[in-house]
Amino acid sequence: MPGFEIFGEEEKKEIMDVLDTGVLFRYEFHDQRNGVYKVKEFEEKFARYCGCEHAQAVTSGTAALKVALMALGIGPGDEVITQGFTFVATWEAIFEVGAIPVFTEVDRTLNMDPADLEKKITSRTKCIIPVHMLGAQARIKEIIKIADKYSIPVLEDTAQAAGGTLDGKYLGTFGRCGTFSFDSVKTMTTGEGGMVITGDGELKKTMSEYHDHGHDHKVNPGGRGGEGRRFIGFNYRMMEIQGAIGIAQLAKLDSMIVAQKRNKAKLKEGASKIPGVSFRELMDEDGDTATFFTFILQDSEQCKRVNESLRADGFGAINWAENSWHFYPAWEHLLGGKTTSSCGYPFVSPGGKRRVIYDPEALPKSADLMGKTLVYPVSIKMGEEVLDNMCKALEKAAGA
């Protein structure tokens, strides 16, 4: 990761198709377009790639989560279960629709622990969002089985795992819908941008309308603005240049994953010499996108010693226990109930009653696991010299 490493003539060609028309907006201006509708084409190709019927392009992976939640009818009074190891966007979107995030432990997949999931389900649980973190599969089949038992829809957050599969089926296609991010550090990127995929035509219709101020997009004599609206919406439209880049990047996705797998395999070979090291549990190694390389030490003390050695050689790894973007105990704004709202919403209701309080020690199993886990992002073009030096640093850290 990320896809900008291999920007080339393909992206330039797609972008020039747009610039030659002068139309950056994804709708209307039919006479000027000369048949060029890049966002629509990107949606169709992405859906076909994933093996599902529908795709809705939006402005970001965060927007994709909100649009999907709104289409599923999630709102105030509802609880949505997700995991305590994810990017902040997952739970920000839950708050954004008025619902309350509930967090589960993660297991050695570094994704949602199905056993803890079932413990967290209540009568108010209206959606479950497992996250395919760091490019690899959650125990999605087990999660779907539990969700079906309680008739709860599953929304797969596949932001970091575009192109990933489980037993030959693409991630994002197991639940009612799946969301993706194409931001600047994703394996395939449009700079900013996101996608929701689904096999449900009615859900797609609702997402299409909601992401464009509620417009129903029916052809009418008055042109844009004359459409009907079933409900209020908002603006999460992807623009044509993003769609153009997405088309070119999607065509390269499989080859990007192949390159990442090759680089990850070499890093794993280097790390395997560390005493007591183990590796993240993968549900399907063939379906891993290899976006990240994860290795787990015996305890947090060994983890610190190893990473100190790696840092001394200029190859320090990410320790998620120290990272404030992705792990529950480090989300000080969540734990502290910090908000710009004068009434304290979403942590406090307009009437002054506290809606939710988060305990920083609520996920002890995850905290133990994260405290001894190190991660490297895997690039597409790491270079043999860089890989060799990283492996030497890992081998040296074996004595730490």
Catalytic residues: 186
> Is there a contact between 225 and 97 (Cβ–Cβ < 8 Å)?
no
- Distance CA(350)–CA(328), nearest Å, equals 26
Long-range contacts of 199-203 (CB under 8 A, 24+ apart): 199/52, 199/53, 199/54, 199/173, 200/54, 200/176, 201/53, 201/54, 203/54, 203/71, 203/72, 203/176, 203/177
What burial class does residue 383 get, using C-beta atoms within 10 Å of its C-beta: 0-12 exposed, 13-18 middle, 19+ buried? exposed
- Distance CA(375)–CA(354), nearest Å, equals 37
User: Measured between alpha carbons, how far is residue 134 from residues 78, 163, 309, 333 in Å?
Assistant: 28, 12, 24, 23
